[in-house]
Amino acid sequence: MMVTRETNKHDGPNAQEYEHRWKGYLENTHFKLLNVLLPDLKESDIILDASCGTGLLVSQLLQKKAPFRELVLNDISPSMLSFAQSRLPRDDRISFSAYPASELQFEENRFTKVVCLNALHNYSHPLAVLQQFKKVMIPNGRLYLLDWNRFGWFRLINVFIRWSGNETINTWNIKEVNRYLRDLRYSIRYTEKWRYRYWQLFQIVAVL
């Protein structure tokens, strides 16, 4: 029932097993994000994939010949990051880092776009993460955020997931996320919510 990966305390699940087990979910969420992200990309973009996992999203961007100047894949899980490094071709525009999302060690105002896909619910300190995203983005930079939406009957599933595993599960609903982003002076440009199987999901694009 869980499509989650530990990003806080210890290494996560086997990367190949993760992609195989949650193939449908990953196809759905990556398709949704790419539909929003791809039209926005420019040759001048410097992008952070804040919790890149297996590097699937960046692999898809390369397949689609998406424009960008630089792309950093970050993940605290050694096995996920290693898998991402092995799957991607050598490209001078691409680099890797392993910082906790709440403690990003990048200079301020570096990135034009930050992507956080399927990871917000795994962060122990999600507000600190959103603050870090703000710090490392340029003015008018864009945040692309896709995650679980704690809404309706999915709240019960969240309780079950939280108590049946050892991963951090800290799920918000879309209204809460929008409110926190506005408190941090983000401007909400796009929102979407939908259901995939038993998951309730949301997507937000916010601008500084």
Cβ atoms of residues 186 and 143 within 8 Å? yes
For residue 17, what are the CA distances in angstroms to 7, 13, 53, 145?
Answer: 16, 7, 12, 24
For residue 78, what are the CA distances in angstroms to 47, 67, 81, 167?
Answer: 21, 27, 5, 16
* Closest by CA position to 76, among listed 41, 57, 104, 117: 104
- Predicted local distance difference test score (pLDDT) of residue 75: 97
Rounded Cα distance, 187 and 204, in Å: 10
- Predicted local distance difference test score (pLDDT) of residue 40: 98
Cβ atoms of residues 123 and 170 within 8 Å? yes
- Predicted local distance difference test score (pLDDT) of residue 163: 66
Instruction: Give pLDDT tens digits for 110-147.
Output: 999 999 999 999 998 999 999 999 999 999 999 999 99
- Predicted local distance difference test score (pLDDT) of residue 194: 97
pLDDT at 174 over 50: yes
* Closest by CA position to 75, among listed 167, 131, 6, 28: 6
Range with lowest mean pLDDT among 10-24, 80-94, 167-181, 192-206: 10-24
pLDDT at 109 over 50: yes
The alpha carbon dihedral of 137, 143, 146, 152 has a sign of positive
One-character DSSP codes across 149-207 = ---TTHHHHHHHHHHHSSS------HHHHHHHHHHTT-EEEEEEEEEETTEEEEEEEEE
Instruction: Give pLDDT tens digits for 17-56.
Output: 889 899 999 999 999 999 999 999 999 999 999 999 999 9
Q: How confident is the model at residue 160 (pLDDT cuts 50, 70, 90)?
A: low
Q: How confident is the model at residue 11 (pLDDT cuts 50, 70, 90)?
A: low
The full set of domains in the chain, from first to last, is 15-207 (3.40.50.150)
Q: Count of CB atoms within 10 A of residue 11's CB?
A: 15
In the chain, what percentage of residues exceed pLDDT 70?
Answer: 88
Cβ atoms of residues 7 and 119 within 8 Å? yes
- Predicted local distance difference test score (pLDDT) of residue 193: 97
pLDDT at 5 over 50: no
Rounded Cα distance, 127 and 191, in Å: 19
Looking at residues 172-197, what average pLDDT do you find?
96
**Can you give the pTM of this predicted structure?**
0.91
